[in-house]
Structure formats: C-alpha cells, structure tokens
Amino acid sequence: MPLHSLDHFFVRANDLEATKDFYCNVLGFEVMPRPAFPFAGYWLGVDGTVQIHMGQHGIDGWDRFYMGTDDRSATDQAGVVDHIAFQASDPEALHRRCLDAGVPARGRWFAPIGLAQIFLRDPNGITIELNFRDLTAEPRWAVGPEG
C-alpha cells in the first residue's frame, strides 16, 4: 500500500487563538515553525513532528487556501469527519488537564482490551478522541460501554 501514515489535519478555526490554546494547553501540542503563509495560522506538533495545521475562518481569499471546505464549513459543523483520534499516555493527567481547563470530557472503558478513552470537543465543535491502550485498571472517570 503506498499510503503509510496520516500527515496532518487542518482545522479552519472560528477563533484561531482559542483553538491554538485548546490544542496546546489541554492536549499538550507545541507550536512548531510555520512558513510565512499569506494568512494567520499555526502548525502544532508533538516530539518535533507537525500533526495539526490551522487557519482563521473568514479570511480574504479563503478559497485559494482552504481546499477541503466551503464558506459555511466552519460554522455549519456539517463535515463528514465524525472525530479525530490520538494515541495518548497518562490518562489521569490528561483528564485532570481537561477538568482544570473547564473542558467537558466523557470517559469510556473497554476492559477486555484495556482501553480507556476520553472524548471532548475543541472550540470549533470538532470531537477529539484520546485513546489510552494496554491499561490494567479502569480509570476512575471512565464508564463501560453499556453505561
């Protein structure tokens, strides 16, 4: 198969600074070097690898830069992507970061495979899934799939 990994995803942000702050302060991404594009934005990454590109909604010439969305996409929340998932570690610390930031988070636990998940939304309404694999005990904030 010629494809081997996801390179990045792009967030067309209603509030660029709040979106950057969410991904950095809650999820732990870092601002990475970004070329001098002719519109405001950020590249965010982990361990030196860029994973998220973002730009401000409502810019002049948006149709030249934002290739996958139309003018209503950032406000209609009508895209076909249901959620974006990340592998993560330290579930208790990440859950605490959500609480400290006032970000509502829903936990889920799948005991047979030792998987805990946290679901939350970014400032644009994008659902983010955080996966914590190979855990030996259920986190106190998680509930089983039937709950």
* Angle, alpha carbons 62-74-50 (nearest 5°): 75
pTM of the prediction? 0.81
Q: Cα dihedral sign for 6, 64, 67, 2?
A: negative
Domains of the chain: 1-78 (no CATH), 81-147 (3.10.180.10)
pLDDT in tens, the chain (147 residues): 687 878 888 888 889 999 999 999 999 999 999 988 888 899 999 999 999 999 888 777 666 666 666 666 656 655 556 789 999 999 999 999 999 999 999 999 988 899 999 999 999 888 899 999 999 999 988 876 544
Rounded Cα gap, residues 19 and 13, in angstroms: 7
Q: Under a CB-based contact definition with an 8 Å cutoff, are residues 29 and 23 in contact? A: yes
